[in-house]
Structure 1
Amino acid sequence: MNNLDKLLSIASSSLSEREPELSGPIRKLAGTSAEQLVNVLRQRNGFYAFEGALHVFPSDSSQSEMGISDWNHADLWRSSYNGLADNVVFFAEDIFGGQFCIKDGSIYIFDPETGSLEYLAADVESWAEVVLHDYEVLTGYPLAHQWQKRNGPVRAGMRLLPKVPFVMGGDFSLDNLYVADAVEGMRLRADIADKIKNLPDGTQVKFSLD
């Protein structure tokens, strides 16, 4: 059993019953990992794992789920990052809306609060291995578990956001979390990323949550 099979063995059922297909532009951006991603979606077209802390998008949208093509549409939230979120394919997210994405065939983590990319794995299979090995950190599972034990399940299309952004010193604690629409959460933090991108470390920033 490879690592993708292991991950799928603990995942939810498919989030879409349609035959998965990725558009030409998405495939081009995904590069050498495009076929691996399609193969995963053929086995499980979108899924949740680790009590919903990991969310892999299905290929297409439905009433309750956003598909990969729509999630990657520039007008949804990507353009709010003013170029920082370009030229990658976002295919999964952690409980805080941190994004897993493909760039030049490799897998990166996209930090929504800073717009920065951090290399994670060489391909989708390696990504599954890393996630299984370090799921508590990479998916936010411990806080997802605690939150849902206290407040109930985080619904589809929602993520847990920090009241005080992590990049500004916010705690990784239940008291610093609230549930928010995933798209609005990305747009909100795109504004934060834009405001702090040229500031030196240690700069004091005022931030208000509407």
Structure 2
Amino acid sequence: MPVVDHLNTTLRKLPSWVLYAVGAVYPAWLLYQGLIGGLGVDPVKVLEHEMGERALQLLILGLAVTPLRRFTGLNLMKFRRAIGVLTFFYVLLHLLVWLVLDVQILSQVWADILKRPYITIGMVGFVILLPLALTSNNWSIRKLGPKWRTLHKGAYVAAVLGGVHYVMVAKGFQLEPLIYLAFIVGLLAVRAIGSGRSLLRKSVHG
């Protein structure tokens, strides 16, 4: 596929820091828009929603890296770590906007975590992503060895929790959150089938 080959050639020349830079500029631009009144009458809610939705999109992109390479030949492996780090960064910003700009009262934050299931699910997802972000470096990969890959499979659980969180946050029936959740479940199913086939081939040829 000439188009995919051309894209892969271009991506190989693109340094990972470009992705980090774009990921850092977008929240700053949104904050600026909020300060000048460009985010409507409730800029805090817009910021909260944007950070959460972009985090979910990045989670989905991270899950899609392997299937994209397998089925289309598009190779984003070089950027997988950057995608994961930016995912956590956006989840953290989503959480901070809710904590600092929305709720603001610490006792109310704790009460909401305990009483509102969608917030509970979101917090569990954040806790799962925290050690993944802290170990997204070469030193941790060397130190943990095979355990590193096992630990980072927690991203699959976090992705499902993120999708469920978005569905529960939406008021009434909304198609968009369901589409996100369907993508997550579908990508995990594709990965599971691919892993199963790999294990089967190894057992047959082993």
Shorter-chain TM range is: under 0.3
- Rg: which structure is higher? 2
Specify which structure has the higher proportion of strand. 1
TM-score (norm 1): 0.24
TM-score (norm 2): 0.25
